[in-house]
Amino acid sequence: MLTAPPEASVGVEETLDPEDWSALRQLGHQMVDDMLEYLHTVRERPVWRSPSAEVRALLREPLPRAGQGEESAYRDFRERVLPFATGNIHPRFWGWVIGTGTPFAALTEMLAAGLNPNVGGFDDGASLVEDQVLAWFKELMGFPRGASGLVVSGGSMANLVALAVARHARAPFDVRRLGQAAAPKAMVLYASREAHSSVTRAVELLGLGREALRLVPVDAEYRIDLAALEQAVARDRQAGALPFAVVGNAGTVNTGAIDDLCALATLARREGLHFHVDGAIGALAASSPELRPLLRGMEEADSLAFDPHKWGHFPIEAGCVLVRDAAAHRAAFAATADYLARLEGGLTGRSERFSDLGPQLSRGFKALKVWMGLKAVGADRLGRVIRQNVEQARFLAERVDDHDELERLAPAPLNIVCFRYRGRGAAGTCDLHALNRALLVELQESGMVAPSGTVLGGSFALRVCITNHRTRREDLQLLLHEVARRGRALLALEG
């Protein structure tokens, strides 16, 4: 008979599991009920309100040395966090580019956290789910089956991964071993002036330096000026630099402009450049047969970044990168270490590890929400909801154009409308820049509507980006009404 050594019987061995499973089960049911009710009634609440002074103070507690218990922690969530949400789940939120999420996809997050796998590439169901999600996205985006890919945190990480692959594949030296300092020529890449800040940040993080990113002018539609791009490439070659990549936009963040991706693909091939497409906003429009033609040329990209957590409405975080040349993808990131060695069979039996395709080793089960969400809704319905937003944007743009106090500031080819309050006639006398900035803050603080802002051609614009499956046309009519009403009042104050 085995007898425990005396020291092992001393003290109680603890776990973080609940003491009372039935109490936790009850609390869990309550949490599900409360959240579904909250989502069901979201339209009845303000879009956003600023966290109260009281709550700000309460959220500066000292480190809890002793636990307060699950129920009490949940109560604090309900009182201190829930009422002060960003608002992007609300039908009248149109700021920046933020998806709405869905109730079902929210539930799937609980399942991912419950299983809590590390999706670095073990031979398990989670890896197969991510394989499946990537295969679906390759099909949707027109990429070959043999392409590689990775589910990542968002468009920023997708751009970083893609540009790291481009840089590694095109560097005429071993950049992983020697670093960028060993480059015999300055490596440079191109994007339009409307490219997203995450492209710039990726270039910085890769050690290329921000100036390596040549920001090319745009045409009147905010698309990259192809002649200017060609000239820039020629100029750089002449000056002894090494052009290695060009980034096309499938939906710019300011106005939703889509570069001529076919022309960019042709130019990239001719110039021997890696062709990356930032489709964080627009790529998922490929799920709509009516919108898909707008994206022609995207399927020719060497890499594509896009954001299921934006127009796909999967909970944040869910981004994705696809890379045409799977070997190049792997070569840019694969790592070896004794503690990671792959064996024949067992947990490490899989041939491809996700951790060899990006900077992360431990990786969450982000693919689950996308897998279950897509299965539940289907790509066709997602495409219809995306198209609905584009039609709503067209509706809004027309109403703005017809309104004698409003002025549209950019074309609206996709789901983004930029405009400002101008007033009738004598607009020249007042500072429209300041007026519209004040108007935007007022709109957000009203809790009624939440657009964001940007600057176009030197003018401050109210920017309405409709990545929202809850929006109805009457919500946009309310927006127009509020902009005109409050704009008029602000103009009267000035005048």
Ligand X SMILES: *Cc1c(COP(=O)(O)O)cnc(C)c1O
Residue list 392-451, contact with ligand X (CB under 6 A): none
Q: Contact 438/493 with Cβ under 8 angstroms?
A: no
The total of other beta-carbon atoms located within 10 Å of residue 227's CB is 10
Q: Is 172 helix (H, G, I), strand (E, B) or coil?
A: coil
Contacting residue, 100, 102, 108, 156, with ligand X by CB under 6 A: 156
Contact string (CB under 6 A) for ligand X, positions 364-383, x = contact: --------------------
Of 206, 205, 191, which Cα lies nearest the Cα of 243? 191
Residue span binding ligand X (CB under 6 A) among the ranges 131-139, 153-161, 172-180, 480-488:
153-161
Which strands, in side-by-side order, build the sheet including 450-456?
93-94, 450-456, 459-465, 416-421, 406-408
Residue span binding ligand X (CB under 6 A) among the ranges 148-156, 169-177, 184-192, 411-419:
148-156
The CB-of-153 to ligand X minimum distance in angstroms stands at 7
Amino acid identity at 102? T
Locate tokens 């743009």: which residue? 397
Contacting residue, 155, 308, 315, 364, with ligand X by CB under 6 A: 155
Rounded-to-integer distance, Cα 321 and Cα 306, Å: 6
As separate numbers, helices (DSSP H) first and strands (DSSP E) second, the chain gives 15, 12
Residue list 287-326, contact with ligand X (CB under 6 A): 307, 319
Based on CB atoms, which residue is closest to ligand X, 200 or 266?
Answer: 200
Contacting residue, 140, 253, 273, 322, with ligand X by CB under 6 A: 253
- Dihedral over Cα of 167, 172, 176, 179: its sign: negative
Q: Please give the full DSSP string across 465-483, using - where no structure is assigned.
A: E---TT--HHHHHHHHHHH
Contacting residue, 154, 308, 358, 413, with ligand X by CB under 6 A: 154
Contacting residue, 164, 216, 232, 280, with ligand X by CB under 6 A: 280
Residue span binding ligand X (CB under 6 A) among the ranges 75-83, 150-158, 419-427, 478-486:
150-158
The CB-of-464 to ligand X minimum distance in angstroms stands at 15
Residue span binding ligand X (CB under 6 A) among the ranges 47-55, 71-79, 277-285, 293-301:
277-285
Is there binding between residue 150 and ligand X (CB under 6 A)?
Answer: no
The CB-of-65 to ligand X minimum distance in angstroms stands at 36
Contacting residue, 281, 374, 410, 476, with ligand X by CB under 6 A: 281
Q: Cβ neighbours of residue 22 under 8 Å, at least 6 residues apart?
A: none
Q: Is 450 helix (H, G, I), strand (E, B) or coil?
A: strand
52, two tokens: 């109260």
The CB-of-202 to ligand X minimum distance in angstroms stands at 10
Residues in the chain: 495
Q: Is 94 helix (H, G, I), strand (E, B) or coil?
A: strand
Based on CB atoms, which residue is closest to ligand X, 366 or 486?
Answer: 366
Locate tokens 């009248």: which residue? 92
Q: Which residues bind ligand X (CB under 6 A)?
A: 97, 154-156, 159, 196, 198, 253, 278, 280-281, 307, 319
